[in-house]
């Protein structure tokens, strides 16, 4: 059996189930407030976990199937939320001052035992194995280690690692360089991943889409080598993109997309190219992994920063508790302290730092390397709920926050650059991201297709087949972006200091 759990649909059904008993009994203004509080990313995650948990706690399901395979496991964010003790007390529904995160669990009180069992089953190595998947490259492996550590902190240590896209042999200088790069990355695998069983999956000539491809995946990769690469349609260059940003005087520039597509590198290159034009640039990252530290050093006209999540969280917690103690009794303050350990509180704290950095656009261009898609949308969603959160804590709204959402929605000031790969899943993820941004009133014009083999001179049959398969996805991005897209070749030397020159590829 195959089941597709739709998180958005699950969230809609969950909101209705929570609100339905109160319709006609409470004023419409109260109903509207409940709907607003249940409109955020946390509700989507909890609703998805609600459906997910049925599969791993229902004995009839486990008896029916030999194996249950999920793509993907619930996030650490959701698991941390479910482990907070106060989430399961009646106090949450009686509280007059609300909750930033735990309120999303208001409709789940009667399922306490089920969710407790679900979390326990996830941590039980006799029942569950959590499979980390990474590419044989430095940055994806660093990201996999970070995810692994977060799960381990939650008691989920029953993990194994699959390295996807491993090149088995090299037949020309390009494939030899790829092979060497992969072997070097695997030889320097992060310490946090070394203790896990590790398996390799070979690079295939095709995108793995559909039942037919899945069935042939573990067979020999038979294909007819292309005699030459299909000439891709006309595209823009990095110079075109940077020149457009420069001429339109954009003040806030984001790189967004699925993890591992090269957002950090693209952000660094844009910053360097603008700096060479004499523009003062502040380059920063909202990604907890902070990959900027690996790819660029401070240089002329560029300042660097990162958001220290732990420091920002502590700062925010202290501020809220100080204000709470002015008006609340000891019991209520204890509840607030518990609430402040929720993952949503961390998002709000990081969001404030994010707003302050964006506010630097008053005097310089801000280039922001964002976290992978889900985390980014959670931050953007916070722009809509931040005011309510501040009211709850009786804090003050900084001017930087007041200015943020109007600035993000102003396409004369802000440019969202979506970064993707010429493959099915990254393009589909990017297209969905664009739709989410549009619904939030945030415009996107430019796309960057990274690591394309279509622009690489190679005689390797496998790489030629991969290049041929890229055409469909490059054409789709061309259509979506109305031809405002850049194609970046796979590069043998991808150091940011050299990449600006190497990306100056003539359009086809």
Give the pLDDT of residue 418: 95
pLDDT of 81 over the 70 cut: no
Phi, psi of 152 (to 5 degrees): -65, -35
Mean pLDDT throughout 339-360? 77
Summarised one tens digit per residue, pLDDT across range 231-246 is: 667 788 888 999 999 9
Strands 252-256 and 414-420: parallel
> Where are the extended beta strands (E) located within 383-496?
414-420, 444-452, 485-489
Of these ranges, 210-224, 288-302, 374-388, the one predicted with the greatest mean pLDDT is 210-224
Q: Which of 58-72, 165-179, 285-299, 305-319 has the lowest mean pLDDT?
A: 285-299
d(CA 253, CA 325): 40
| Residue 27 exposure: Cα atoms within 13 Å on the Cβ side | 3
Beta bridge mates, 419:
448
Phi, psi of 281 (to 5 degrees): -125, 135
CATH number of 7-213: 3.40.50.2020, 3.40.30.10, 3.90.740.10, 3.40.50.300?
Answer: 3.40.50.300
Written as one string, the DSSP assignment of 335-369 is HHHHHTTSHHHHHHHHHHHHHHHHGGGGTSEEEEE
CATH 3.40.50.300 positions along the chain are 7-213, 238-502
d(CA 446, CA 403): 24
> Does residue 446 contact residue 244 with C-beta atoms inside 8 Å?
yes
Written as one string, the DSSP assignment of 458-487 is ---HHHHHHHHHHHHHHHHHHHHTTT-EEE
Q: What homologous superfamily does CATH list for 238-502?
A: P-loop containing nucleotide triphosphate hydrolases (3.40.50.300)
Tokens 């969710």 found at: 115
Give Dmax over CA atoms of the chain in angstroms: 77
CA 427 from centroid of its chain's CA atoms: 14
Phi, psi of 285 (to 5 degrees): -135, 135
Give the pLDDT of residue 394: 47
> Does residue 14 contact residue 46 with C-beta atoms inside 8 Å?
yes
pTM: 0.78
The DSSP output letter for 299 is: B
The DSSP output letter for 419 is: E
Summarised one tens digit per residue, pLDDT across range 153-178 is: 888 899 999 999 999 889 999 999 99
Q: How many residues comprise the chain? A: 508
| Residue 228 exposure: Cα atoms within 13 Å on the Cβ side | 3
Give the pLDDT of residue 95: 42
Give the pLDDT of residue 68: 86
Percent of the chain with pLDDT over 90: 24
* Mean pLDDT, rounded, of the chain: 79
């Amino acid at each position: 059996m195959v089941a597709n759990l739709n998180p958005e649909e699950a969230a809609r059904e969950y909101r209705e189930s929570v609100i339905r008993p109160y319709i006609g009994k409470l004023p419409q203004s109260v109903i509207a407030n409940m709907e607003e509080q249940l409109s955020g990313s946390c509700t989507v995650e909890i609703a998805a976990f609600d459906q997910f948990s049925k599969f791993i706690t229902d004995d009839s399901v486990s008896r029916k199937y030999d194996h249950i395979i999920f793509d993907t496991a619930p996030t650490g964010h959701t698991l941390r939320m479910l482990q907070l003790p106060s989430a399961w007390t009646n106090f949450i529904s009686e509280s007059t001052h609300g909750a930033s995160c735990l309120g999303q669990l208001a409709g789940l009180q009667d399922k306490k035992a089920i969710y407790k069992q679900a979390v326990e089953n996830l941590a039980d190595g006799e029942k569950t194995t959590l499979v980390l998947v990474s590419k044989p490259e430095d940055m994806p492996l660093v990201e996999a280690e970070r995810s692994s550590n977060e799960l381990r902190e939650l008691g989920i240590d029953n993990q194994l690692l699959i390295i996807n896209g491993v090149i088995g042999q090299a037949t020309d200088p390009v494939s030899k360089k790829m092979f060497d790069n992969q072997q070097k990355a695997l030889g320097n695998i992060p310490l946090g991943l070394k203790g896990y069983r590790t398996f390799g999956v070979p690079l295939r000539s095709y995108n793995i889409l559909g039942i037919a491809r899945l069935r042939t995946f573990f067979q020999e990769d038979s294909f007819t080598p292309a005699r030459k690469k299909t000439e891709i349609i006309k595209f823009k260059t990095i110079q075109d993109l940077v020149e457009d940003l420069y001429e339109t005087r954009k003040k806030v520039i984001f790189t967004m997309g699925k993890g591992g597509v090269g957002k950090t590198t693209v952000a660094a290159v844009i910053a360097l190219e603008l700096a060479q034009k004499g523009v003062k640039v502040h380059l920063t990252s909202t990604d907890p992994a902070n990959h900027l530290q690996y790819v660029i050093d401070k240089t002329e006209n560029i300042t660097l920063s990162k958001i220290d999540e732990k420091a920002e969280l502590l700062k925010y917690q202290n501020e809220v508790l100080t204000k709470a103690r002015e008006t609340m009794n000891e019991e209520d303050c204890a509840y607030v302290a518990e609430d402040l350990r929720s993952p949503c509180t961390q998002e709000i704290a990081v969001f404030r730092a994010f707003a302050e950095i964006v506010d630097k656009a008053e005097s310089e261009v801000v280039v922001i390397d964002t976290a992978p898609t889900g985390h980014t949308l959670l931050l953007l969603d916070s722009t809509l709920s931040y005011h309510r959160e501040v009211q709850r804590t009786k804090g003050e709204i900084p001017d930087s926050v007041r200015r943020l959402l109007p600035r993000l929605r102003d396409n004369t000031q802000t440019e969202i650059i979506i970064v993707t790969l010429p493959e099915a899943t990254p393009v589909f993820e990017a297209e969905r991201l664009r739709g989410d941004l549009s619904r939030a009133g945030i415009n996107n014009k430019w796309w960057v297709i990274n690591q394309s083999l279509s622009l690489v001179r190679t005689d390797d049959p496998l790489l030629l087949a991969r290049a041929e398969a890229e055409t469909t996805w490059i054409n789709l991005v061309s259509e979506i972006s109305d031809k405002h897209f850049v194609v970046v070749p796979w590069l043998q030397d991808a150091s940011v200091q050299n990449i600006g020159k190497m990306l100056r590829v003539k359009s086809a």
